[in-house]
A and B are shown apart, each in its own frame.
Chain A
Amino acid sequence: GESVGLHLPTLSVQEGDNSIINCAYSNSASDYFIWYKQESGKGPQFIIDIRSNMDKRQGQRVTVLLNKTVKHLSLQIAATQPGDSAVYFCAENYDGGSQGNLIFGKGTKLSVKP
């Protein structure tokens, strides 16, 4: 399949290490945020979301941190595996996420070395 990761920032980690992917969002009025994973030739896959009334949310092996003061979002992946290799996008939305118009960041390509 075609690569969605051309000319994107790349994070290279060793298998088993923790990964941290960062995202600066644009709209201070945004109140709903999502992280997506996109593998080559596929559509974005939902990973985890967080609302602006929270600053941290945990899922299975993933944690999202939200810092509204500096409009920064991060995704932490614990014990990174080769299957985590993909492009990761953050997306923002306002009005509590009821509007179906997500604004996506530029993406980060995660490469996991075995």
Chain B
Amino acid sequence: GAVVSQHPSWVICKSGTSVKIECRSLDFQATTMFWYRQFPKQSLMLMATSNEGSKATYEQGVEKDKFLINHASLTLSTLTVTSAHPEDSSFYICSARWGLRETQYFGPGTRLLVL
């Protein structure tokens, strides 16, 4: 099946720094990528949807200036958490699909801990 990778798998940073998370589709062209966040013992929450070459669409309540999403190519999307704070500590997961296909393929996730 299709493979989606994320890098890094985990990251620890100081409060106030910015962290970039990469999501790559390894064997297909991802026309759409989704970014999710999951707090402990909670369900996944969709943060934003990005289509290659266009601006991301953010869900209500998600600050687009804080969570910068770039989908510059059909195989790579990045999520940058700017000026990270401890409350941004979470599990970030991306998924990708191509065209209008229903199936989303999920990355393994990135654990972010902000100290």
Are A and B subunits of one complex?
no
